[in-house]
Amino acid sequence: MPRTTHYRLAGGAAIAATLLLAGCASSPGATTESTATPDAAAASDTRVTLTYDGGLYVLDGETLDVLADIPLAGFNRVNTAGDGRHVFVTTTDGFQVLDTGAGAGEPELTDVLFRAVEAGHVVKHEGKTVLFADGTGDITIFDTDAVTNDGLPESETVASEAAHHGVAIELADGTLLSTIGTSEARTGVRVLDESRTETARNEECPSVHGEGTVKGEVAVFGCSDGVLVYADGEFTKVAAPDAYGRTGNAYVTDTSSLMVGDYNSNPDSEGYLLSKLALVDTETKTMQVVDLPEGVEYTWRDVARGPSDEILVLSADGSLYVLDETGAVTDSYPVIEAWESPVEWQDAHPALSVVDGVAYVTEPAAKKIHAIDVATGEILTSATLDAAPNEIAVVN
């Protein structure tokens, strides 16, 4: 199973949330239509975390039974911690650790908190987890497996040159790549060695946003006019075919050299639905922009990679589309009702997450979540929730 990384668009302003800690409710908060046996929930190693307006759900990944309903006021975001069990819940205070109970145990929103001003991106790579605080530019690095319920792990903090909505990644050899920017503009990426001495930088990536690593540990960053590629100690700018050709999110695996990015060639576009994908060959350093079939549109939440590196797009027409690495549609499966672009990026709208060949699809308008077999399109399980799901993070 290739590692799939989906970095989502996030606002640069502080998240409007008030943290309220409460005990987990063990009573189910969903009606589940499932072929799984009651014992499957106890045996499943997969957990699905969903945010809703006023709290968090933790679901069993096989039955979609609600294992915990945790009240938590405000608009909260969720990212996997990278250890297969924990999830970071982004609040106004920072990154709070949620133990999903994957493998064993009951879900619990712990008291462990990585404090951060305007907590932003979470990046997992080669046994390291990196947190970025947009309000200060501070980068926090620690061993992924060191996340526990009992306190903060030993960590390293690296300062950015200025606070900005940014992202950073540590490579296997200890090299740190981090974005360059201010509260007014983001311009590129710099390279720091293990001693955190700068060894290189590239400032030809306006509005840098979205990071990923592909086969061979090649790092990619989205720009408003293309993609910045870092390989073998050097940067290469892959220009978009349009003067404005923004890629803000990278959908990658470590078994493919292809970066898939969202693509917007209209700086004056309204709404968040897009109809093109950027396919970047990191070996040839070239970009192909693919027009999706008529009526197929998506937001940054609706693209993922499958177990064979295929491209999955959850379209606003309600279907899940399967594309090969050339961008050709090879299959499509009706999954949910058609939906429209959110008015604001924070508004609940369908989201897609893929783990071990299962695509988890949310349907906020119906207060539902579905689990789909990527290979066949069969809906394995569906559940109706008490509240509309918003963001999703899946661990196993």
3-state SS, one letter per residue, for 83-130:
CCCEEEEEECCEEEEEECCCCCCCCEEEEEEEECCCEEEEEEECCEEE
Radius of gyration of the chain (CA): 20
Q: In the 8-state DSSP scheme, what is residue 151?
A: S
What gap in Å lies between CA 253 and CA 157, rounded to an integer?
A: 27
Q: Which tokens go with 17?
A: 């949330």
Q: H or E element: which one contains 43?
A: helix 40-43
pLDDT value of residue 271: 92
pLDDT value of residue 322: 98
Q: Are 172 and 165 in contact (CB under 8 A)?
A: no
Q: Which residue has the tokens 């349009």?
A: 242
CA distances from 388 to 137, 298, 365 (A): 33, 19, 7
Q: H or E element: which one contains 78?
A: strand 77-80
pLDDT value of residue 40: 38
pLDDT value of residue 22: 31
CA distances from 187 to 4, 162, 166, 282 (A): 26, 12, 11, 21
Dihedral (CA of 143, 144, 150, 156) sign: positive
Q: Which tokens go with 33?
A: 């239509």
Task: Print burial letters for 71-98: b (CB count within 10 Å at least 16), e (below 16).
Answer: ebebbbbbbbbbbbbbbbbbbbebbbbb
Q: Are 226 and 280 in contact (CB under 8 A)?
A: no
pLDDT value of residue 4: 34
Q: Are 22 and 372 in contact (CB under 8 A)?
A: no
Q: Are 263 and 276 in contact (CB under 8 A)?
A: yes
Please count the other Cβ atoms lying within 10 Å of the Cβ belonging to residue 376. Answer: 11
Q: Kindly report the CA angle at 7 between 4 and 9, in degrees rounded to 5?
A: 155
What is the residue-level pLDDT of the chain in tens, covering all 396 positions?
A: 333 333 333 333 333 333 333 333 323 344 444 333 334 334 479 999 999 999 999 999 999 999 999 999 989 999 999 999 999 999 999 999 999 999 888 999 999 999 999 999 999 999 999 999 999 999 999 999 999 999 999 999 999 999 999 999 999 999 999 999 999 999 999 999 999 999 999 999 999 999 999 999 999 999 999 999 999 999 999 999 999 999 999 999 999 999 999 999 999 999 999 999 999 999 999 999 999 999 999 999 999 999 999 999 999 999 999 999 999 999 999 999 999 999 999 999 999 999 999 999 999 999 999 999 999 999 999 999 999 999 999 999
Q: Are 227 and 278 in contact (CB under 8 A)?
A: yes
Q: Which residue has the tokens 């940014």?
A: 166
Q: H or E element: which one contains 42?
A: helix 40-43
